[in-house]
Amino acid sequence: MSIETYRIFGGLGSPYSMKLRAVMRYRRIPHVWTQLNDANAYEIANIRPAVIPVLRFPDGNMQTDSTPLIYELEKRHPGVRSVLPDDESQHFLSFLLEDMADEWGTKMMFHYRWFLPRDQKQMSTWLSFDRSAEGGLANIEKYAATFRERQVGRMALVGCTPGNKPLIEETAHQVLDLLDAHVPEERFLFGTRPSLADFGWMGQLSQLAVDPTPAEMMRERAPFIFRWLAELDDASGVEGKWRDADLSLSPAVKGLLKMAGEVYFPFLIANADAMGHGEETFSFRALGYSYEQGTFRYQVKCLSTLRARFAGLSDAAREKLAPILREAGCLEFLAAP
């Protein structure tokens, strides 16, 4: 492998790995994809936090966390097929929607993957196959049983419980309906070229399109999304333009922002408030459903980052966004406490 080439350590079952790889393919940044398995795991054994994707830079440095990595690549390769809209207000909205995909959309992925036995069985076996470099079927099945037990045991930790099922599935349906109506008309959320937000949702939905139960649901409810995901997985040939910033936002973007105001920000606020009071769990209601889970420090950081980015916008951008965010129910949550 050339020292000038990036290397992604990732997994086909990781929405964040698929997101980063798709961004690098679209931006035509030379890289090598390495499916993480038992034979090569030692190469990233000392990386913390121990999550994928891990990106090895040409200088040998390694970093993780897909969104910061995407922004780092923007710094290192400025102006080359950027995934960040030129318009400051659209850039912020793209970041917000990608953040919601990463932190709320992943609940959809985890819920559908591990809630029903049929999905547990297939995906634990497939993910074990990905991870196993050798050892044959017996080794795959042994690891699958252990991995399945571990992941199912983590469901309550990440909020994927029977009690939370109605809200998680309702938001999944809303996302699919919004995007499936949008992509035949304009292809991507902020024009005819993909943005950070498109890649964020692509990562999560790429997993729903593979797992048995959500794949069946998607084929009936959102058939265009299957083709959209396949196109966005390698959009290196896409040439497009950003949406005119003076035009009204698309119904899909407005709908996703409304979901942020009704579900995602209340989720972040409830988590942050509970964390601030030293509580181990939090709950809130959205769309007529109740939701409860354990507190997460990382999602406190997400809320803080969103507020800081909004505060850091120019006066003109904030003034432009204020009525949009107010209508969506988001503006009140972006003000620092």
Same domain, 192 and 276: yes
Which of 262, 232, 245 is closest to 91 using CA atoms? 245
Residue 158, classed as helix, strand or coil, is: coil
First-to-last C-alpha distance (Å) of the chain: 50
Q: Is residue 93 exposed (0-12), middle (13-18) or buried (19+ Cβ within 10 Å)?
A: buried
Same domain, 39 and 100: no
Averaged pLDDT for residues 139-157: 94
DSSP annotation of 57 reads: -
Residue with tokens 């959102």: 222
Same domain, 96 and 138: no
pLDDT for 188-197, tens place per residue? Answer: 999 999 999 9
CB 111 within 8 A of CB 160: yes
Tell me which of 5 and 19 has the higher pLDDT: 19
Residue with tokens 């030129």: 86
Which of 149, 179, 148 is closest to 256 using CA atoms? 179
Question: What pLDDT does 182 receive?
Answer: 98
Same domain, 168 and 146: no
Same domain, 51 and 104: no
State how far the Cα of 286 lies from the Cα of 284, in Å rounded to an integer.
7
The domain of 132 spans 116-153
pLDDT for 29-40, tens place per residue? Answer: 999 999 999 999
Asked whether the predicted pLDDT for residue 302 surpasses 70, the reply is yes
Domain count across the chain: 3
Question: What pLDDT does 3 receive?
Answer: 44
Within-domain flag for 81: no
Same domain, 239 and 297: yes
Tokens (6 digits) for 160: 């994927």
Same domain, 140 and 230: no
Averaged pLDDT for residues 140-160: 95
Total Cβ atoms within 10 A of residue 114:
21
Which of 79, 48, 50, 54 is closest to 66 using CA atoms? 54
Q: What are phi and psi of 301, to 5 degrees?
A: -65, -40
Asked whether the predicted pLDDT for residue 273 surpasses 80, the reply is yes
214's CB contacts (< 8 A; 6+ apart) are: 108, 112, 119, 172, 208
Same domain, 97 and 203: yes
Mean of all residue pLDDT scores within the chain: 96
CB 14 within 8 A of CB 52: yes
Same domain, 193 and 226: yes
Looking at the chain, the whole-number percentage of residues with pLDDT higher than 70 is 98
State how far the Cα of 17 lies from the Cα of 6, in Å rounded to an integer.
14
pLDDT for 200-250, tens place per residue? Answer: 999 999 999 999 999 999 999 999 999 999 999 999 999 999 999 999 999
State how far the Cα of 73 lies from the Cα of 93, in Å rounded to an integer.
20
32's CB contacts (< 8 A; 6+ apart) are: 1, 5, 6, 7, 8
Asked whether the predicted pLDDT for residue 103 surpasses 80, the reply is yes
320's CB contacts (< 8 A; 6+ apart) are: 89
